Amino acid sequence: MHIIIKSALGLAALATPALPAFAGDIVNAPPAAQAFETSTEGVGFAPLEGDRFAGAYMAMVRLPGGLVSPAHVKSANMFGVVISGTLTHRAAAEETSAEVRLPAGSFYRIPAGLAHVSSCVSSEDCVTFLYQDGKFDFLPAKQ
C-alpha cells in the first residue's frame, strides 16, 4: 500500500504544472490605489495583472448594487472571490430559485462557454477579485 501511495503522489507531482517564477518587487494594491475604469453598463474594472482585452488577467471588479446582467457567455474560464456585497451567478437555463447567495469570502467559478446571469443582489456595490484564463469578452447568450 505504501508503494502505491508513493507512486500516485509521484504521478500527481508530474501532472501538476509548475507555477511561474516571478521576479521583481512586491506589488501592493490597497483599495485607494485601485483605479477603476467604468464600463457603459456601470461595471468597474481595476486592473491588477495583465491586459483583459489581450489575454489572461486579474482585476478587481465592482458591480453596482442591484445590477442584473443579461444572459451572456465568456470565452475564458472565470474564477472569483467576493470581497464585499452579495453576488449570485446562475446558468441562464436555471430558474432564479436556483441562485446561491455569495457573501464576502465566497468563491465562484464559471466555465467558459456557459450562458449565465450574474447579479449583485445587495443594495451596496459588489466587489470581487476576478481571474480569467483568457481575454475578456461579454457575448450575449443566444435565445
Residue 9: per-residue pLDDT: 46
Residue 7: per-residue pLDDT: 46
CA Rg value for the chain: 18
Q: What is the pLDDT of residues 86-122, one digit of tens each?
A: 999 999 999 989 899 999 999 999 999 999 999 999 9
Query: Is 36 within 8 Å of 44 (Cβ atoms)?
Result: yes
pTM of the entire predicted model: 0.81
Query: Is 64 within 8 Å of 128 (Cβ atoms)?
Result: no
Mean pLDDT over 26-32 rounds to 93
pLDDT range class, residue 23, cuts 50, 70, 90: confident
Higher pLDDT, 41 or 129: 129
Q: Which CATH superfamily does the domain covering 31-140 fall into?
A: Jelly Rolls (2.60.120.10)
* Nearest residue to 78 (alpha-carbon basis) of 49, 95, 57: 57
**What is the dihedral sign for C-alpha 93, 98, 104, 105?**
negative
Mean pLDDT over 43-68 rounds to 96
42-74 exposure pattern, b = at least 16 Cβ within 10 A, e = fewer: ebbbbbeebebeeebbebbbbbeeebeeebbbb
Query: Is 89 within 8 Å of 78 (Cβ atoms)?
Result: no
* Nearest residue to 60 (alpha-carbon basis) of 80, 90, 87, 85: 80
